[in-house]
Chain A
Amino acid sequence: MNLEADGLRKRYGDVQALDGFDLAVAPGVIHGLLGPNGAGKTTAVKALATLIDVDEGVARVAGYDVRTQAAQVRRRIGLIGQNAAVDEILGGRQNLVMFGRLYGLSKVDARARADRLLDMFGLVDAAERAVSTYSGGMRRRLDIAAGFILTPAVLFLDEPTTGLDPRARNEVWAAVREVAAAGTTVLLTTQYLDEADQLAARISVMNHGRVVADDTPGVLKRQIGGDRVTVTIPAGAPLETVTQQLAAAVGIPAVPDDEARSLTFEVGSGVTALAAIVRALDDSGITPEDLVLRRPTLDEVFLTLTSQEAIR
């Protein structure tokens, strides 16, 4: 495991920010840390990146203990916080050369590395301009580049696309994939489910300072039930009769939406249900207005998991 946390606890006054936080991430994986505001995602990242001391628990990053071997950890990580922590007054290249030298590269090596990273993250044209003139996406990419100078074993990305427009978001996603392709383990915190779905091979869902679920996006979606089949009945057809017919055909009652004239079946196997629905509609001579098979979204997984947690 490249990242390991065992029972981390951290208290800020009345707030138990981490309450038994556990994590295990294999090398070279993009791992999503997903949770609502205040779930403790940033605190977890800061603890793993040696920025704060936890009250209890042990964490190892790239094999080193974050508390007793902080210096070794720091040589092997890159941290990209919520604010783009690059120097706004300096230019993009100046920033990368400065961080390169702070990581211990010689002036010559730092310059060469800066040029390589500007190229890799698509910032060559803006290299000399002051960072204050950069767009949000460019700033974020420079930020990631600065965290990637030594090709770290682990890169921490704390909500990297918060406040970015969709295009800038795509650019940042591409940069994150670039980083992972080079073999770096990425721990990505996000509030956006589609971001975790798009990027992460595994997701830990966090709430109230601990992980409430940890699996691949696919398994997490299956966990809260199977597929959904939604059929929309055309205006001419008798809604009640069709509802009964379809319920009989599928074998379970539908969740109706009278307004939209649609019926949704939550089923184990979407394909079987789909076939049954098509046959039943065909027998009645009805052509559906719309017929959709979909897996549950991560949004549904997330809401289910965090609301269960709230009740408990």
Chain B
Amino acid sequence: MTAVRAGWILTQRNLAHWVRQPWAPIFGLLFSIMLLLVFGFLFGGAITVPGGGDYITFLLPGMLALSMMFGVESTATAMAGDARKGITDRFRSLPIGSASVALGRVGADMANSALELLVLILGGLLIGWRITSDPASAALAVILLLFLRFAMLWIGIFVGLTFRGDGATMAVQVLVWPIGFLSTAIVSAETMPDWLGAIAAWNPLSATASAARELFGNPTGITEGPLADHAVWLALGWPALLTAVFLPLSARAYRRLRA
């Protein structure tokens, strides 16, 4: 059987999990909404955006990018769980293409993330966020956000297959926080000490957040530097680079289950 068809069957399997146990994805959505409210209203009043602009309109594209990055957690956890319980071995003993298991994960996680984006965008519109650009730019922003999620998927698959124990997924769950905060997703890099701001500006998450802001027509909080001029290209380049590194590594990790 082709890997695409088997991948679609496994996507349906992963989606069926959410029908049977809807609390995990619902809780994930509530968590994203909670973060949005905490930063938008609790901390937002104390934050000014360099270059001017309303903080909520600055924050929302950053939150969208952040939630795409946090998706790495659920991907890694699901892959590691399947590998640990032996069901991955079961799939490997079936006459299906070797890309099937990964494709099933990609299909389900991308569907989940698209839904998450939709809910956050609607939530943002409710609390005063506005898209001030044209529909084509807004669509490109959504595509770039999903592209980041796609790159994160391969990191998650690699981590889940390589470190099958609970410890590795715990490490991912902890690490996404500093990596997520050390970016321009929530505050502009220009409000940070210079050295920290430089690191944050080179975070792939910052590229996607800044590009989304630019494309939605929101304040970017950037007055100079590479992100000011090339955010969209960086938001294409970073996920492409991450995918180019982690997709082969994931394939290798899958093959190494045979070793």
A235 to chain B, nearest CB (A): 56
In the assembled complex, which residues on chain B have CB atoms less than 8 Å from the CB atom of A130? Answer: 20
Contact of A90 (CB < 8 Å), options: B13, B92, B94: B13
Tell me if A37 counts as interface (CB < 8 A to partner B).
no
Tell me if B253 counts as interface (CB < 8 A to partner A).
no
In the assembled complex, which residues on chain A have CB atoms less than 8 Å from the CB atom of B90? Answer: 79, 81, 85-86, 99, 146
Write out, one digit per residue, whether chain A residues 49-72 have a CB within 8 A of any chain B CB (1) or not (0).
Answer: 111110000000000000000010
Among B13, B16, B90, B257, the most chain A Cβ lie within 10 Å of the Cβ of B90
Decide if A52 touches B95 in the complex (CB within 8 Å).
no
Contact of B89 (CB < 8 Å), options: A79, A87, A98, A101: A79
Contact of B87 (CB < 8 Å), options: A74, A82, A85, A104: A85
Decide if A102 touches B16 in the complex (CB within 8 Å).
no
The chain A residue sitting closest to B96, CB to CB, is A102
Decide if A103 touches B87 in the complex (CB within 8 Å).
no
Decide if A71 touches B89 in the complex (CB within 8 Å).
no
B84 to chain A, nearest CB (A): 9
A159 to chain B, nearest CB (A): 12
- Which B residues between 9 and 44 are near A, CB-CB below 8 angstroms? 9-10, 12-13, 16-17, 20-21
Decide if B259 touches A53 in the complex (CB within 8 Å).
yes
Contact of B93 (CB < 8 Å), options: A51, A86, A90, A104: A51
Interface size on B, residues (CB 8 A): 24
In the assembled complex, which residues on chain A have CB atoms less than 8 Å from the CB atom of B86? Answer: 81-85
- Which B residues between 215 and 259 are near A, CB-CB below 8 angstroms? 257-259
In the assembled complex, which residues on chain A have CB atoms less than 8 Å from the CB atom of B185? Answer: none
A169 to chain B, nearest CB (A): 20
Please measure, in the bound complex, the distance between the C-alpha atom of A99 and the C-alpha atom of B13, giving whole angstroms.
10
In the assembled complex, which residues on chain A have CB atoms less than 8 Å from the CB atom of B96? Answer: 102
In the assembled complex, which residues on chain A have CB atoms less than 8 Å from the CB atom of B94? Answer: 74, 99, 102-103
A sample of 20 inter-chain contacts (CB < 8 A) reads A50-B93, A51-B93, A52-B258, A53-B259, A74-B94, A75-B95, A77-B93, A79-B93, A82-B86, A87-B17, A87-B87, A89-B17, A89-B21, A90-B13, A90-B16, A90-B17, A98-B9, A102-B10, A130-B20, A146-B90
B→A interface (CB under 8 Å): 1, 6, 9-10, 12-13, 16-17, 20-21, 85-87, 89-96, 257-259
14 further A-B contacts with Cβ under 8 Å, apart from A51-B92, A102-B6, A130-B20, are A52-B259, A53-B258, A74-B94, A79-B89, A81-B89, A85-B85, A85-B90, A87-B17, A89-B17, A89-B21, A90-B16, A94-B16, A98-B9, A102-B9
